[in-house]
């Protein structure tokens, strides 16, 4: 008569299936996790400034009210009124905003027109790129684009 022995552990088939499942999960999630690190650095400093200006202009058009945006180039802070919003632009390492005045003011009218008191520049990788706003169309761009 054969004695029954307690089996402890896993069979080779079970281990192979679990390892294969783990490989599939890692293979699917690794690219998504890797892209999280690059999202903050993908956009250049010019793109960050352009996005803020476009968002402020869109707010003026959507709400049918004049919007005033103030940017302090020395510390990359900004203020938008209305609504009462403020924050700091997430600039890339080594990039900074430059202007001839301590604060640059933008006025966006409900019809999309824009006024600016002084030009804003982004200094990055040894070059200074102006942030350009077409006064009549309100198009925001950089000289590099």
Q: Could you state, in order of their start, the residue ranges of all structural domains in the chain?
A: 9-42, 45-142
Each residue of 106-143: pLDDT tens digit?
Answer: 999 999 889 999 999 999 888 888 998 888 787 888 87
Rounded Cα distance between 72 and 88, Å, is 9
The answer to whether the beta carbons of residues 12 and 20 sit under 8 Å apart is no
3-state class (DSSP) for residue 36: helix
Q: What does the CA dihedral 111, 101, 99, 94 come to, rounded to 10 degrees?
A: -120
Q: Which of 145, 144, 124, 131 is nearest to 56 (CA)?
A: 131
Q: What is the CATH number of domain 45-142?
A: 3.55.40
Distance (Å, rounded) from C-alpha 33 to C-alpha 10? 31
pLDDT tens figures, 11-57: 999 999 999 999 999 888 887 776 665 444 435 788 899 999 999 99
């Amino acid at each position: 008569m054969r004695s029954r022995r307690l089996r402890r552990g896993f069979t080779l088939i079970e281990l192979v299936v679990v390892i294969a499942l783990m490989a599939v999960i890692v293979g699917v999630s690794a690219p998504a996790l890797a892209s999280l690190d690059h999202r903050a650095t993908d956009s250049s400093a010019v793109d960050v400034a352009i996005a803020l200006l476009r968002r402020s202009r869109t707010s003026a058009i959507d709400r049918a009210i004049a919007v005033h945006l103030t940017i302090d180039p020395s510390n990359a802070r900004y203020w938008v009124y209305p609504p009462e919003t403020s924050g700091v632009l997430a600039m890339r390492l080594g990039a900074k905003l430059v202007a001839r005045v301590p604060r640059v003011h933008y006025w966006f009218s409900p019809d999309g027109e824009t006024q600016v008191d002084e030009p804003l520049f982004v200094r990055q990788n040894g070059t200074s790129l102006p942030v350009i706003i077409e006064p009549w169309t309100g198009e925001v761009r950089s000289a590099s684009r």
